[in-house]
Structure 1
Amino acid sequence: MLSALARFSRPHTIIATTIQVVALFLIAGGSQVMSLASLGPVLLTLVTCLALNIYIVGLNQITDVEIDRINKPRLPLASLEMSMREGRFVVALTAVVALVGAWIAGAYLLGTVVIIMVIGTVYSVPPLRLKRYSFWAAVSIALARGVIANVGVALHYNDVYGGLAAFSPATLAVMAAFFFGFGLVIAIYKDIPDLMGDRAYGIETFTVKLGPQRAFNLGRIILTVGYAGVMAVAISRLPQPDSLMLLVAQGVALGLFWYASARVDPSQKASIARFYMFLWGLFYAQYIILSVYQVTRGIA
């Protein structure tokens, strides 16, 4: 049962949420107030966001169970390792935990959780079920993961730690723009291996509409523009050593992305699935890079 619960939570998204919450604390200047007492709000934020994460991915599995029997037959609901009743219980429980945790944490986190919960619900649940439409599905994921989560948690940390946080409007704008683009790419690439099931059930993803190769190339363009944008910001702040570090790190990440993507056959499910998980690795790495960059700036 524990193995089924772990897979139900979609571990790559759990890792992403954990890194995101901790990294935003460091980017906000958390290293300046590091103590056991200061970690309490971070832990509450983390538990709340993880519960929200499980609610969203769990709800999606409940509403997609028939499609997942084609696309992702190893998921616990699709494989019958978990019953629908158990899945609904986990989703309901995590929704309550997320809302109660956010209510305790404060208005900014509560607003963030409610907005993302609404987006996640209308993404999966009829009558809107935005995931049926390529544009709205991608925008929903990019807004929730890339913009609202980052801005909301940043404002929450600013509020909790008395405004010492280093989130200037410019910092937030750059982060939101980059991760919005990254969210679009994740949304596009996650559907490439699922072409058969999505087509059978009338889910109009970018892959269904454009084909695997063109959808793959669209993601390449979007992510390249995102990395180039951050590199341009770093160049504008040279010759500071921290900006040079950021420039080099972004160049390396972009180079790795293109090297790995050149070895992918988007028409092969196993190939694109492996690359999709590599993409999540780049997502994790970007938060670590930005954390190191911000801490380095603080030391300087």
Structure 2
Amino acid sequence: MLSALARFSRPHTIIATTIQVVALFLIAGGSQVMSPASLGPVLLTLVTCLALNIYIVGLNQITDVEIDRINKPRLPLASHEMSMREGRIVVALTGTVAVVGGWIAGAYLLGTVLIIMAIGTIYSVPPLRLKRFSLWAAVSIALARGVIANVGVALHYNDVYGGLTAFSPATLAVMAAFFFGFGLVIAIYKDIPDLMGDRAYGIETFTVKLGPKRAFNLGRIILTVGYAGVMAVAVSRLPQPDSVMLLVAQGAALGLFWYASARVDPSRKTSIARFYMFLWGLFYAQYIILSVYQITRGIA
């Protein structure tokens, strides 16, 4: 049961949420206020966001169970390792924990939880079920993961730590723009291996509409523009050492992305599925890069 529950939570998203919450604390200047007392709000934020994460991915599996029997037959609901009743209990419990955790943490985190929960619900559940529409589905994921989560948790930390954090409007704007683009690419790429099931059930993803290769190249363009934008910000701050580090790190990440993507066959499910997980690795790395960049700026 524990193995099924772990797969139900979609581990790659759990890792992403954990890194996101911790990295935003460090980017906010958390290393300067690090103490046992300061870690309490971070832990509460992490538990709340992880519960929200499981609610979102769990609800999607409940509503997609028939499609997943074609696209992702190893998921616990699709493979009958978990019953629908058990799935609904997990979703109800984690949704409750997310709301209660947000309420305890404060208005900013509660608002973030409620907005993302609303987006995740209308993404998966009829009558709107936004995942049926390529553009709305991608925008929903990009807004929730890339913009609302980052801005909401940043404002929450700013509130908790008395306005001492390093989040300026410019910093938030750059982060939100980059991760919105990254969220779009994740949304596009996650559907490429699912072409058969999505087509069978009338889910109009970018892959269904454009084909695997064109959808894949669209993602390449979006992510390249995103990295180029952050590199332009770094260039504007040269010759500061922290900006050199950011420029080199972004160039290396972009180079790795193109090196790996050149070896992908979008028409082969196993090939694109492996690359999709590599993409999540770049997502994790970006938060680590930005954390190191902010700490370096603080030292300088």
TM-score by length of structure 1 reads: 1.00
TM-superposed deviation, 1:196: 0.0
State the alpha-carbon separation in 1 of the partners of residues 96 and 174 from structure 2: 33
| Residues 247-266 of structure 1: CA deviation (Å, up to 9, x unaligned) | 00000000000000000000
> What does the per-residue CA deviation read over 1:158-199, in whole Å, with 9 as the maximum and x for residues that have no partner?
000001100000000000000000000000000000000000
Q: CA deviation at 1:238?
A: 0.2
Identity of aligned residues (%): 93
Cα distance in 2 for residues equivalent to 1:12 and 1:271:
17
Deviation at 1:145, TM superposition (A): 0.1
Counterparts of 1:15 and 1:108 in 2: how far apart (Å)?
23
What's the CA shift for 1:130? 0.1
Query: What do residues 79-124 of structure 1 show as CA deviations (whole Å, max 9, x unaligned)?
Result: 0000000000000000000000000000000000000000000000
Aligned to 2:14: 14
Q: Secondary structure at the match of 1:82?
A: coil
- 1:43 Cα deviation (Å)? 0.1
Q: Whole-Å Cα distance in 1 between the matches of residues 299 and 8 of structure 2?
A: 41
1:148 equivalent in structure 2: 148
TM-superposed deviation, 1:18: 0.1
Aligned equivalents of 1:128 and 1:178: distance in 2? Answer: 27
CA distance in 2, matches of 1:228, 1:48: 33
Q: Which deviations, in whole Å up to 9, do the C-alpha atoms of 1:240-280 show, x marking residues without a partner? A: 00000000000000000000000000000000000000000
Aligned partners of 1:64 and 1:36: how far apart in 2?
42
User: Hey, what's the Cα distance between the residues in 2 that align with 1:226 and 1:156?
Assistant: 25
Alignment of 1:1-300 (within 5 A): 1-300=1-300
**What is the SS of the residue equivalent to 1:267?**
coil
How many residue pairs get aligned? The number is: 300
How far apart are the structure 2 equivalents of 1:27 and 1:127? Answer: 39
SS at match of 2:78: coil
Give me the whole-angstrom Cα distance separating, in 1, the residues matched to 2:62 and 2:90: 11
1:7 and 1:133 mapped to 2: Cα distance?
Answer: 26
Residues 18-54 of structure 1, C-alpha deviations (whole Å, 9 max, x = no match): 0000000000000001011100000000000000000
SS at match of 1:245: helix
What is the CA–CA distance in structure 2 between the aligned matches of 1:264 and 1:133, rounded to whole Å?
26
Instruction: Give a deviation string over 1:225-252, Cα, whole Å, max 9, x none.
Output: 0000000000000000000000000000
Q: Which runs of 5+ in 2 are unaligned?
A: none
Offset at residue 297 of structure 1 (A): 0.2
Name the TM-score, length of structure 2 as normaliser.
1.00
Distance (Å, rounded) in 2 between the aligned partners of 1:269 and 1:36: 46
Task: Please tell me the root mean square deviation across aligned C-alpha atoms, in Å.
Answer: 0.2
